[in-house]
Structure 1
Amino acid sequence: MTALDASELSRLLGPWTTGTTTLTDDLVTALVELIDAGLVPAGARLPPQRGLATALLVSRGTVTAAYDALEARGYLATSRGSGSRVRSSRNPLQSHPSGRLFSFTSAPADVVDLSTGSLPASPVAAEVLGRLTDVGAYLSTDGYFPAGLPVLRQAIADRYTRDGLPTRAQQILVTSGAQHATWLAMTALAGSGDLVLTEEPTYRGALEAVRSTGARVEGLPLIGGGLDVDLVRHALARRPQVLFCQTAIHNPTGRSTADGTRIELAEVLNDAGLLTIEDTCSADLTLAGPAVARTLTGLVDPELLLTIGSTSKLFWGGVRIGWIRASETRIHGLVELRKAVDLASSVTDQLLAADLIGRTDVARRQRREMLTDALAATERELCEAFPDWRWHPIDGGSGLWVDTGQDAVALAERAKRVGVKLAAGPSFSTYAGQRTFLRLPVWHEPAMLRDALSTL
Structure 2
Amino acid sequence: MAHAWIPQQWDSARVAMTALDASEVCRLLGGWTTGSATLTDDLVTALVELIDAGLVPAGALLPPQRRLASALLVSRGTVTSAYECLEARGYLATSRGSGSRVRSARSQLHGRPSGRLFSFTSAPADVIDLSTGALPASPVAADVLARPRAELTAYLATDGYFPAGLPVLRQAIADQYTRDGLPTRPQQILVTSGAQQATWLAVTSLAGSGDLVLTEEPTYRGVLEVLRSTDARAEGIPLAGGGLDVEQVRHASSRRPQALFCQTAIHNPTGRSMTDGSRAELATLINDVGLPTIEDTCSADLTLAGAPVARTLAGLVDPELLVTVGSTSKLFWGGVRIGWIRASETRVHGLIELRKAVDLASSVADQLVAVELIARTDVARHQRRTMLTEALAATESELRCAYPDWHWNPIDGGSGLWVDTGQDAVALAERGKRAGVRVAAGPSFSTYDGQRTFLRLPVWHEPTMLRAGLTALSS
Normalising by structure 2, we get a TM-score of 0.95
**Structure 1 residue 100, shift from structure 2 partner:** 3.5
One of 34, 46, 49 as aligned partner of 1:18: 34
The yes-or-no answer on 1:297 pairing with 2:311 is no
**Structure 1 residue 357, shift from structure 2 partner:** 0.1
**Residue in 2 aligned with 1:91?**
107
Once residues 426 and 159 of structure 2 are traced to their aligned partners in structure 1, the CA distance between those partners, rounded to angstroms, is 49
One of 45, 51, 56 as aligned partner of 2:61: 45
**Residue in 1 aligned with 2:178?**
161
| CA RMSD in angstroms, aligned pairs only | 0.9
Once residues 449 and 108 of structure 2 are traced to their aligned partners in structure 1, the CA distance between those partners, rounded to angstroms, is 27
Once residues 65 and 204 of structure 1 are traced to their aligned partners in structure 2, the CA distance between those partners, rounded to angstroms, is 32
Once residues 85 and 104 of structure 2 are traced to their aligned partners in structure 1, the CA distance between those partners, rounded to angstroms, is 17
The yes-or-no answer on 1:191 pairing with 2:192 is no
Q: What secondary structure sits across from 1:199 in the alignment?
A: strand
The yes-or-no answer on 1:214 pairing with 2:214 is no
Once residues 105 and 125 of structure 1 are traced to their aligned partners in structure 2, the CA distance between those partners, rounded to angstroms, is 21
Q: What secondary structure sits across from 1:196 in the alignment?
A: strand
Once residues 416 and 212 of structure 1 are traced to their aligned partners in structure 2, the CA distance between those partners, rounded to angstroms, is 27
**Residue in 1 aligned with 2:4?**
none
Runs of 4+ in 1 over 3 A off after TM superposition: none
**Residue in 1 aligned with 2:124?**
108
Q: What secondary structure sits across from 2:388 in the alignment?
A: helix
**Structure 1 residue 305, shift from structure 2 partner:** 0.5
Aligned residues: 456
**Residue in 1 aligned with 2:407?**
390
**Residue in 2 aligned with 1:264?**
281
1:186-213 CA distance string (max 9 Å, x none)? 1111100000100000000000001111
**Structure 1 residue 92, shift from structure 2 partner:** 4.8
**Residue in 1 aligned with 2:190?**
173
One of 30, 52, 59 as aligned partner of 2:75: 59
Once residues 109 and 144 of structure 1 are traced to their aligned partners in structure 2, the CA distance between those partners, rounded to angstroms, is 39
The yes-or-no answer on 1:79 pairing with 2:95 is yes
**Residue in 2 aligned with 1:130?**
146
Q: What secondary structure sits across from 2:216 in the alignment?
A: strand
The yes-or-no answer on 1:451 pairing with 2:468 is yes
Q: Determine if contact 2:68/2:79 at 8 Å carries over to the other structure.
A: yes
The yes-or-no answer on 1:435 pairing with 2:452 is yes
Q: Determine if contact 1:250/1:256 at 8 Å carries over to the other structure.
A: yes
The residue type paired with residue 237 of structure 1 is: S
1:286-342 CA distance string (max 9 Å, x none)? 000000000000011111100000000000000000000000010001111111111
Q: Determine if contact 2:111/2:228 at 8 Å carries over to the other structure.
A: no
Q: Determine if contact 1:35/1:91 at 8 Å carries over to the other structure.
A: yes
Q: Determine if contact 1:8/1:100 at 8 Å carries over to the other structure.
A: no
The yes-or-no answer on 1:27 pairing with 2:46 is no
Q: What secondary structure sits across from 1:256 in the alignment?
A: coil
Once residues 190 and 103 of structure 1 are traced to their aligned partners in structure 2, the CA distance between those partners, rounded to angstroms, is 27
Once residues 365 and 95 of structure 2 are traced to their aligned partners in structure 1, the CA distance between those partners, rounded to angstroms, is 54
The residue type paired with residue 125 of structure 1 is: A
The residue type paired with residue 94 of structure 1 is: H
The residue type paired with residue 59 of structure 1 is: S
Q: Determine if contact 1:192/1:213 at 8 Å carries over to the other structure.
A: yes
**Residue in 2 aligned with 1:362?**
379
Q: What secondary structure sits across from 1:307 in the alignment?
A: strand
1:150-206 CA distance string (max 9 Å, x none)? 000000000000000000000000000111111111111110000010000000000
Once residues 101 and 428 of structure 1 are traced to their aligned partners in structure 2, the CA distance between those partners, rounded to angstroms, is 13
**Structure 1 residue 90, shift from structure 2 partner:** 4.3
Map 1:322-361 → 2, pairs under 5 A: 322-361=339-378
1:239-283 CA distance string (max 9 Å, x none)? 111100000000000000000000000010111111100000000
Once residues 109 and 335 of structure 1 are traced to their aligned partners in structure 2, the CA distance between those partners, rounded to angstroms, is 41
Map 1:271-282 → 2, pairs under 5 A: 271-282=288-299
In structure 2, the CA distance between the partners of 1:447 and 1:98, relative to structure 1 (3 Å rule), is: closer
**Residue in 1 aligned with 2:10?**
none
The yes-or-no answer on 1:5 pairing with 2:32 is no
Once residues 104 and 78 of structure 1 are traced to their aligned partners in structure 2, the CA distance between those partners, rounded to angstroms, is 34
Once residues 237 and 328 of structure 2 are traced to their aligned partners in structure 1, the CA distance between those partners, rounded to angstroms, is 28
Q: Determine if contact 1:75/1:90 at 8 Å carries over to the other structure.
A: no
**Structure 1 residue 104, shift from structure 2 partner:** 2.1
**Structure 1 residue 98, shift from structure 2 partner:** 2.8
Once residues 372 and 286 of structure 1 are traced to their aligned partners in structure 2, the CA distance between those partners, rounded to angstroms, is 9
Normalising by structure 1, we get a TM-score of 0.99
Q: What secondary structure sits across from 1:387 in the alignment?
A: coil
The residue type paired with residue 392 of structure 1 is: N
**Structure 1 residue 451, shift from structure 2 partner:** 1.3
**Structure 1 residue 95, shift from structure 2 partner:** 3.6
Q: Determine if contact 1:4/1:47 at 8 Å carries over to the other structure.
A: yes
**Structure 1 residue 101, shift from structure 2 partner:** 3.3
**Structure 1 residue 91, shift from structure 2 partner:** 2.5
Map 1:367-386 → 2, pairs under 5 A: 367-386=384-403
The yes-or-no answer on 1:139 pairing with 2:148 is no
The residue type paired with residue 306 of structure 2 is: G
One of 148, 162, 171 as aligned partner of 2:165: 148
The yes-or-no answer on 1:255 pairing with 2:272 is yes
Q: Determine if contact 1:11/1:103 at 8 Å carries over to the other structure.
A: no
Once residues 235 and 118 of structure 2 are traced to their aligned partners in structure 1, the CA distance between those partners, rounded to angstroms, is 22
Q: Determine if contact 1:101/1:205 at 8 Å carries over to the other structure.
A: no
In structure 2, the CA distance between the partners of 1:332 and 1:233, relative to structure 1 (3 Å rule), is: same
The residue type paired with residue 193 of structure 2 is: S
Q: What secondary structure sits across from 1:143 in the alignment?
A: coil
One of 417, 424, 434 as aligned partner of 1:400: 417
One of 211, 229, 244 as aligned partner of 1:227: 244
